[in-house]
Structure 1
Amino acid sequence: MSTANKKSNIRKSIFDMVSVGVVDKPINQFYDIVSTVALILNLAVAILSTFDQYRSYKDIFILIESITMAIFAIDYVLRLISAKYAYPMESELGAIRSYVFSFFGLVDLLSFLPYYLPVVFPAGAVAFRMIRVVRILRLFRVNAYYDSINVIRDVILAKKQQLFSSIFIILVLMMGSSLCMYSLEHEAQPDVFENAFSGLWWATSTLLTVGYGDIYPITTAGKAFGIIIAFLGVGMVAIPTGIISAGFVEQYGKIKRVGEYAREEDVNFININLVEGDILIGKKISEITLPKKSSIAFVIRGRKTVMPNEDVVLDKGDNIVISADDKDNEYKLQLREIEMLAKHRWVGQMLKDIDISRQTHVVMIKRGDNVYKPSSKFILKEGDKILVYSSIKNMKDDYGELYNYESDENHNDVE
């Protein structure tokens, strides 16, 4: 392998390691754990250091903060090195620039940079300490593990135009209300409504239904206007709330429809559990040959879902989920489970003697907690469940014969 390929593989491994949720290798899992623990410890120290009773732990807090800040700095450097894989359509410099000026790039930089800036600029230590509050936004990386929480982001992005419109209306009302209240109350309360900004503060607390009570009108006209603004405030706050609520309903509706559409596309999934001795154990995904139109969708490893990258090595206990697209296949398969009730005429017969179409086949038989492979001399008993399949093209004829019972009362025997 050439030096260039080795460097490329190293950078790809670094990208997989710093990417949240990529857990196909132990080191990637370890990195996710370390990053999350470092963030939680850093935020815990930032909060606990404000309590007087914990002042005695100041040295420990300083040590933890220095270690976690170093971890944040290393994480930023690793993301710069692997930026090309995060932005594959960009050039090397373009990928780095895209990451540096992205939301998470700025958050990652401001998480640790203000900690080291006082070394160079001691006079700005207080301002830099305030900027370090940005590190709390790193929690959004942890949020990437939870798809249900990410729905909030999707809803806000989908409804951003409507939300901006409602916020713009609120701002216009706030400005108009502040100027009107200043005109009505300035002469009666020159110390309270001394300028337009004082009216703006009152309008904000009233329109947003906060109502601190530190500024309020005392004139009759001012009180009447305040009542109108209070009613408008309830309606204005309801607008973005209604938009977000409707967005949630719409988003979950989309998720449901996607699931329904996926079932309609005739994509079949097979789950294979690797046990001791399976020939796939120890092989890479790239070394496995599957039939045409089938592929490994994902690998379930313990409680983790591993995406099937070509370098993923299969291990004992893995569950391989294989997808097969047969929508162009003329002969689609229809699976059906039939339970043998007391009056079913197959009860007590061997499989070779039951009157079943040649186009229909018995796949397996479940008896209690046991599963049996079908054999010609297998005798069916009451309570057995038979799994059969038939080509959809011939399904009407096959199941017509399959369900051809001696009397109508036996029709209830089929599930």
Structure 2
Amino acid sequence: MNYSTFRIRIYTIIERGEKHDKKSVYFDYFIIILVLLSVISTIWESHSTKIGGKDYKVFFDFFEFFSIAIFTIEYLLRLWTAPLKYPHLSTWKAYLKYIFSFIALIDLLAILPFYLPFLGVEDLRLLRMMRLLRLLRVFKLNRYSRALNLVSDVLKEKGEELVTTVFFALILLLVSSTLMYYVEHETNPEGFPNIIATLWWAVVTLTTVGYGDVVPVTMLGKILNGATALIGIGVVALPTSILSAGFLEKVEERKKAEKEAKKQIEKQLLQELKERNGEIEKEESENSTTHSTTLCYCPHCGGKLPEIN
């Protein structure tokens, strides 16, 4: 499908820019700064809009309108250029894929609280809660940060292993809380009234937080408590080690890919240089051949002729 040059240019600008594309790089910096200022504004506004005794609420409101306008335009432009982002899909499928992508949902949730009153939502409690979604704008930085993209890639690649560790932790929570309930319920019914309430003790102990608000009083319960805490160290270490290993693998892969790309560029430049040298040598060879066929002596009398430059 053919797209206009303007549409293609908009796509290259709003996507993460390359160093040679100044407009795209400036756009990235502008969005990053606006996101950071927006998050700072949200946090500051929750504390106080007064600075030095003066109320600056009108400035906070103006900045909110400005940032919402920019983020809305950005969202619509990204939606408009979605077919270029997903060229293998049809137009409507590309639109739907972008709308339901994680980062697009973040973009939408970040601006949605502003538009809810215009959609007839008048519940102030809901609006106050929804305004907290403005903090989700910080996730927009994921587009422009290689480090955040790296973490996202690791989570996607190691998702199965992480789910396994979470499943194992849930089983351990259920088993330990059930055992502790049967060990401690008769002696300490207030602390361990049922298995569901005992889950709080299991979570606190397994994560090695140890608030101490619910503790066993029997010897067997204390032994079980200690064993659960020790096992918890390993349970917490499992996802940490998986993420660390995945992070290191991704860093090595990225370095290797960068080296390969650099080698390919150098190889291409070398090939172009060789081709250019070959053309030069060919031209010199042709010139020398032409020069060598120039007659320097008369074929009739054998006398020397003047050289022709």
Counterpart position of 1:339: none
Q: CA RMSD in A?
A: 3.1
Counterpart position of 2:266: 268
Q: Does structure 2 retain, via aligned residues, the 8 Å contact 1:205–1:212?
A: yes
Alignment match of 2:34 (pick from 32, 38, 46): 38
Residue type of the alignment partner of 2:34: A
Q: Distance in 1 between matches of 2:265 and 2:19?
A: 26
Q: Distance in 2 between matches of 1:248 and 1:120?
A: 43
Q: Distance in 2 between matches of 1:140 and 1:237?
A: 25
Alignment of 1:137-216 (within 5 A): 137-216=136-215
Quote the offset at 1:80 in angstroms. Answer: 1.3
Quote the offset at 1:40 in angstroms. Answer: 1.4
Q: Distance in 1 between matches of 2:134 and 2:45?
A: 16
Counterpart position of 1:64: 63
Quote the offset at 1:75 in angstroms. Answer: 1.2
Quote the offset at 1:23 in angstroms. Answer: 5.9
- Pick which of 34-43 and 182-191 moved more: 182-191
Can you list the C-alpha shifts for 1:252-279, whole angstroms capped at 9, x where unaligned? 333444456567x67526xxxxxxxxxx
Q: Does structure 2 retain, via aligned residues, the 8 Å contact 1:112–1:132?
A: no
Give the direction of change, closer, same or farther, for the CA distance of 1:52–1:257 in structure 2 (3 Å limit): closer
- In structure 1, the gaps of 5 or more residues are 270-293, 295-322, 332-415
Q: Distance in 2 between matches of 1:131 and 1:193?
A: 37
Residue type of the alignment partner of 1:158: E
- In structure 2, the gaps of 5 or more residues are 278-309
Q: Does structure 2 retain, via aligned residues, the 8 Å contact 1:155–1:248?
A: yes
Counterpart position of 2:16: 20
Give the direction of change, closer, same or farther, for the CA distance of 1:197–1:102 in structure 2 (3 Å limit): same
Counterpart position of 2:229: 230
Q: Distance in 2 between matches of 1:22 and 1:135?
A: 28
Give the strand-richer structure, 1 or 2. Answer: 1
- Pick which of 132-141 and 40-49 moved more: 132-141
SS in 1 for 2:213: coil
Q: Does structure 1 retain, via aligned residues, the 8 Å contact 2:109–2:136?
A: no
Q: Distance in 2 between matches of 1:75 and 1:211?
A: 46
Q: Does structure 2 retain, via aligned residues, the 8 Å contact 1:155–1:251?
A: yes
Give the direction of change, closer, same or farther, for the CA distance of 1:73–1:195 in structure 2 (3 Å limit): farther
Q: Does structure 1 retain, via aligned residues, the 8 Å contact 2:14–2:24?
A: yes
Residue type of the alignment partner of 1:235: G
State the identity as a percent. Answer: 35
Say how many residue pairs are matched.
Answer: 273
Q: Does structure 1 retain, via aligned residues, the 8 Å contact 2:49–2:57?
A: no
Q: Distance in 2 between matches of 1:198 and 1:158?
A: 35
Q: Distance in 1 between matches of 2:68 and 2:89?
A: 29
Alignment of 1:235-314 (within 5 A): 235-258=234-257, 268=266, 294=268
Q: Distance in 2 between matches of 1:324 and 1:143?
A: 37
Residue type of the alignment partner of 1:50: S
Quote the offset at 1:175 in angstroms. Answer: 1.6
Q: Distance in 2 between matches of 1:190 and 1:262?
A: 66
SS in 2 for 1:122: coil
Give the direction of change, closer, same or farther, for the CA distance of 1:20–1:253 in structure 2 (3 Å limit): closer
Q: Distance in 2 between matches of 1:254 and 1:37?
A: 30
Q: Does structure 2 retain, via aligned residues, the 8 Å contact 1:185–1:193?
A: yes
Give the helix-richer structure, 1 or 2. Answer: 2
Give the direction of change, closer, same or farther, for the CA distance of 1:266–1:118 in structure 2 (3 Å limit): closer
Counterpart position of 2:43: 47
Give the direction of change, closer, same or farther, for the CA distance of 1:57–1:214 in structure 2 (3 Å limit): farther
Q: Does structure 2 retain, via aligned residues, the 8 Å contact 1:186–1:194?
A: yes
SS in 2 for 1:215: coil
Give the direction of change, closer, same or farther, for the CA distance of 1:141–1:53 in structure 2 (3 Å limit): closer
Q: Does structure 2 retain, via aligned residues, the 8 Å contact 1:182–1:196?
A: yes
Can you list the C-alpha shifts for 1:343-391, whole angstroms capped at 9, x where unaligned? xxxxxxxxxxxxxxxxxxxxxxxxxxxxxxxxxxxxxxxxxxxxxxxxx
Q: Does structure 2 retain, via aligned residues, the 8 Å contact 1:266–1:325?
A: no
Can you list the C-alpha shifts for 1:378-407, whole angstroms capped at 9, x where unaligned? xxxxxxxxxxxxxxxxxxxxxxxxxxxxxx
TM-score of the pair, normalised by structure 1: 0.58
Counterpart position of 2:298: none
Q: Does structure 2 retain, via aligned residues, the 8 Å contact 1:115–1:129?
A: no
Q: Distance in 2 between matches of 1:252 and 1:20?
A: 20
Can you list the C-alpha shifts for 1:125-180, whole angstroms capped at 9, x where unaligned? 43344344444444344344443453322322222221111111011111222222
Give the direction of change, closer, same or farther, for the CA distance of 1:148–1:49 in structure 2 (3 Å limit): closer
The structure, 1 or 2, with the larger RCO (C-alpha pairs under 8 Å, 6+ apart) is: 2
Give the direction of change, closer, same or farther, for the CA distance of 1:108–1:184 in structure 2 (3 Å limit): same
Give the direction of change, closer, same or farther, for the CA distance of 1:75–1:235 in structure 2 (3 Å limit): same
